Amino acid sequence: DQQVKQNSPSLSVQEGRISILNCDYTNSMFDYFLWYKKYPAEGPTFLISISSIKDKNEDGRFTVFLNKSAKHLSLHIVPSQPGDSAVYFCAASARGKLIFGQGTELSVKP
């Protein structure tokens, strides 16, 4: 049973526009959420995180929103750049255990 779901396998956006990546979770015990970015043939790298006591966290072009009642989080990238093209994984943590979603492949076209 997939506790963290990313229902869009891929997303294509134009350079300069906003990219919105979505993630849903089922376990209300999750208390910390993270986004990772992965390039081909490399390991995932940490991008941004949010605690369950917050509903928004911003870091430069990246903003993560958390809607606990809907068990939904999203990552906004604005403006999108070609170098942002990668696979993005959301992850949720409870008691130290970190569960990842299936990933969304973002393609930013010039």
Binding interface with other proteins (CB under 8 A): 2, 6, 32, 34, 36, 41-46, 49, 89, 91, 93, 96-103
Choice between 15 and 57, CB closer to other proteins: 57
CB of 16 to other proteins, least distance (A): 29
The pairs formed by 1-6 with CB atoms below 8 angstroms and a separation of 24 or more are: 1/26, 2/101, 2/102, 3/27, 3/30, 3/92, 3/99, 4/90, 4/91, 4/92, 4/99, 4/100, 4/101, 5/101, 5/102, 6/89, 6/90, 6/101, 6/102, 6/103, 6/104
Choice between 20 and 98, CB closer to other proteins: 98
Choice between 44 and 75, CB closer to other proteins: 44
CB of 44 to other proteins, least distance (A): 5
